[in-house]
């Protein structure tokens, strides 16, 4: 299995848990501070989405390098990469549910990556369709507005102290008012809206779109759409993204209400647009959005009042939530540390082997285990015992035929080699405080679950 497929598959699995941690933290923040200003909720939500995306990318990078190291030094890993060879494994042996689960997950990794790539291709097609629709709206069936609307636009820019260049066009195809573009932003106003809204109502809608431009929401929306495309499989991505879009509109609503003497005018304008809403491309920032969100916005505008908000409470909530999130994300159970003892011959040899440059002086133990695992003769999930005695090779006590054994021991100079890696289920029993996940971590050369000399009493 290719390294990038393995790393991607594990990252997809981890991303679901990461999404839960990030969304739960955001949800808790919003519940603890329901009266927080819209711009605070928006910034926190956007930061949560950016953190989730960065966490996904970092996990993939980390998994790729770990698995690359595993493939270079298979003995350092407990990961199974091939089927169990019938020559040395008892196919009738029963496995624990943990081993069966892990084996099934390993077998499903290629399919998981395949489904993700297929879904990503569909999302890219969807994204391309949205961009094409946006291009069509921008360049077809648009006309210049009347002079009175141009004057209204300029007066609103002066009122908001907005000095940037903005163009307003009337579109026969657009269903809702929207902003398109970053360097040269364009406000598209539906022809129906021009006919249905009064001058004051139209002014509030244009002011809303100017707020989007001033806040650079179009650029942020592009980033948001890209994250949704890449993390389309994660439901928590869509839940966080929905909060961002909701609070983004609330931020612009607050700005309009702040500069409007009568909020009813703005609420009436939104209600008029809600009578015949329509879809808008992913890369546009529309004034209305989904119908049920729009009616909730109208209710919020009409009930808007000054709420006391304590920034000290916000800081305290952020500290508490960050602590919980970090604990869930990075806490790792650890094995109980034994008292320091004098280094044994086996541990000293293992440490020395670990520090040797594998490209120039790879230990014979690593070479032997690497070749056996590549050919499926051993399974580090189930555990194994490999013994070389002169020209004979034993795996789990079974003598390997000379024709097969010669392939692996022909170039070895050591007369005696003995290596044991304990089964995964036994590691669970021997380290109950470590937890299930940590027992899935790679078995290191210096791990107490790896022995280089036979013991009378097995155990870590």
> Is 70 a domain residue?
yes
Query: Does 286 lie in the same domain as 408?
Result: no
Which pLDDT belongs to residue 208? 92
Lowest-pLDDT choice from 51-55, 108-112, 129-133, 353-357? 353-357
Q: pLDDT grade, residue 236 (50/70/90)?
A: very high
Closest C-alpha among 271, 255, 258, 147 to residue 197: 271
Which pLDDT belongs to residue 339? 44
Which pLDDT belongs to residue 243? 94
In the chain, % of residues over pLDDT 70:
66
Q: What are phi and psi of 132, to 5 degrees?
A: -65, -40
Query: Does 82 lie in the same domain as 138?
Result: no
What SS3 state is found at 232?
Answer: coil
As a whole number of Å, the CA-based R_g of the chain is 31
> Is 236 a domain residue?
yes
pLDDT in tens, 251-272: 999 999 888 878 888 888 888 8
pLDDT in tens, 416-456: 888 877 776 676 666 655 544 444 443 444 455 666 666 54
> Is 339 a domain residue?
no
| 345 compared with 103, residue with greater pLDDT | 103
| 52 compared with 302, residue with greater pLDDT | 52
> Is 383 a domain residue?
yes
The yes-or-no verdict on residue 331 having pLDDT over 80 is no
Report the number of distinct structural domains present in the chain. Answer: 3
Reported in sequence order, the residue ranges of 80-219 that DSSP labels E, i.e. its strands, are 142-143, 167-171, 178-180, 186-190
Query: DSSP string spanning 256-295?
Result: HHHT-S-HHHHHHHHHHHHTS-----TT-EESS-SHHHHH
Q: pLDDT grade, residue 68 (50/70/90)?
A: confident
pTM, rounded to two decimals: 0.62
What integer is the mean pLDDT of 363-371?
77
Which pLDDT belongs to residue 437? 46
Q: Which residues contact 21 (CB under 8 A, 6 or more apart)?
A: 325, 328, 329
Query: Does 414 lie in the same domain as 365?
Result: yes
Under DSSP, the state recorded for 107 is H
Token output for 113: 């990556």
The yes-or-no verdict on residue 158 having pLDDT over 80 is yes
| 63 compared with 281, residue with greater pLDDT | 63
The yes-or-no verdict on residue 216 having pLDDT over 80 is yes
The yes-or-no verdict on residue 341 having pLDDT over 70 is no
Q: pLDDT grade, residue 391 (50/70/90)?
A: confident
The yes-or-no verdict on residue 297 having pLDDT over 90 is no
Q: pLDDT grade, residue 45 (50/70/90)?
A: very high
Query: Does 144 lie in the same domain as 110?
Result: no
The yes-or-no verdict on residue 105 having pLDDT over 60 is yes
> Is 459 a domain residue?
no
Which pLDDT belongs to residue 434? 52
Indicate left, alpha or beta for 291 from its phi (over 0: left) and psi (-120 to 50: alpha): alpha
Question: Residues 269-272: contacts with CB within 8 Å, 24+ apart?
Answer: 269/197, 269/201, 269/202, 269/204, 269/205, 270/205, 270/294, 270/297, 270/298, 270/301, 271/298, 272/193, 272/196, 272/197, 272/201
Query: DSSP string spanning 397-409?
Result: TEEPPHHHHHHHH
> Is 460 a domain residue?
no
Give me the domain span that covers residue 356.
345-451
Query: Does 228 lie in the same domain as 142?
Result: yes
For 160-182, b where at least 16 C-beta lie within 10 A, e where not — what string?
A: beeeeebebbbbeebbbbbbbbe
Which pLDDT belongs to residue 264? 86
Query: Does 227 lie in the same domain as 101?
Result: no
Which pLDDT belongs to residue 315? 60
Q: What are phi and psi of 385, to 5 degrees?
A: -130, 120
CATH of the domain at 142: 3.30.2010.10
Query: Does 111 lie in the same domain as 139?
Result: no
The yes-or-no verdict on residue 26 having pLDDT over 90 is yes
Query: Does 142 lie in the same domain as 284?
Result: yes
Which pLDDT belongs to residue 225? 92
The yes-or-no verdict on residue 62 having pLDDT over 50 is yes
Query: Does 200 lie in the same domain as 279?
Result: yes
Query: Does 255 lie in the same domain as 325?
Result: no
Query: Does 217 lie in the same domain as 145?
Result: yes
> Is 338 a domain residue?
no
395 vs 408: CA distance, rounded Å: 12
Which pLDDT belongs to residue 444? 43
pLDDT in tens, 305-328: 544 445 555 565 555 555 555 554
């Amino acid at each position: 299995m290719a390294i990038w497929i393995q790393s991607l598959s594990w990252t997809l699995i981890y991303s679901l848990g990461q999404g839960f941690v990030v969304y739960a933290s955001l949800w808790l923040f919003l519940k603890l501070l329901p009266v927080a200003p819209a711009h605070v909720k928006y910034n926190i939500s956007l930061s949560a989405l950016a953190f989730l995306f960065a966490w996904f990318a970092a996990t993939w990078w980390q998994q790729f390098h770990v698995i690359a190291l595993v493939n270079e030094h298979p003995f350092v890993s407990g990961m199974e990469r091939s089927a169990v060879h019938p020559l040395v494994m008892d196919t009738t042996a029963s496995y624990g549910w943990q081993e069966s689960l892990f084996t099934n997950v390993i077998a499903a990794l290629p399919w998981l990556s395949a489904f993700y790539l297929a879904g990503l291709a569909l999302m890219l097609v969807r994204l391309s369709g949205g961009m094409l629709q946006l291009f069509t709206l921008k360049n077809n069936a648009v006309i210049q507005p009347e002079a009175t609307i141009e004057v209204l636009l300029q007066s609103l820019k002066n009122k908001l102290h907005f000095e940037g260049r903005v163009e307003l066009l009337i579109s026969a195809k657009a269903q809702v008012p929207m902003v398109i573009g970053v360097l040269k932003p364009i406000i598209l106003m539906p022809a129906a809206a021009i006919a249905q809204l009064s001058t004051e109502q139209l002014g509030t809608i244009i002011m809303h779109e100017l707020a989007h431009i001033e806040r650079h929401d179009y650029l942020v929306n592009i980033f948001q759409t890209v994250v949704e495309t890449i993390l389309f499989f994660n439901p928590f991505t869509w839940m966080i993204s929905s909060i961002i879009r909701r609070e983004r509109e609330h931020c612009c609503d607050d700005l309009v209400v702040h500069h409007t003497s009568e909020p009813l005018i703005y609420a009436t304008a939104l209600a008029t647009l809600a009578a015949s809403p329509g879809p808008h491309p992913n890369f546009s920032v529309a004034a209305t959005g989904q119908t049920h969100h729009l009616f909730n916005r109208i209710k919020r505008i009409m009930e808007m009042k000054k709420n006391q908000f304590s920034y000290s409470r916000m800081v305290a909530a952020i500290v508490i939530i960050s602590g919980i999130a970090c604990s869930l994300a990075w806490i790792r159970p650890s094995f109980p540390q034994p008292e320091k003892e004098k280094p044994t011959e086996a541990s000293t040899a293992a440490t020395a082997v670990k520090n040797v440059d594998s490209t120039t002086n790879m230990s014979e133990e690593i070479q032997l285990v690497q070749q056996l695992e590549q050919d499926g003769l051993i399974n580090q999930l189930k555990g194994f015992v490999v013994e070389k005695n002169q020209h004979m090779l034993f795996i789990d006590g079974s003598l390997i035929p000379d024709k097969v054994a010669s392939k692996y021991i022909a170039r070895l100079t050591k007369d005696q080699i003995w290596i044991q890696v304990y089964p995964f289920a036994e590691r669970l029993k021997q380290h109950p405080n470590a937890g299930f996940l940590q027992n899935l971590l790679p078995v290191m050369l210096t791990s107490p679950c790896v022995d280089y000399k036979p013991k009378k009493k097995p155990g870590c």
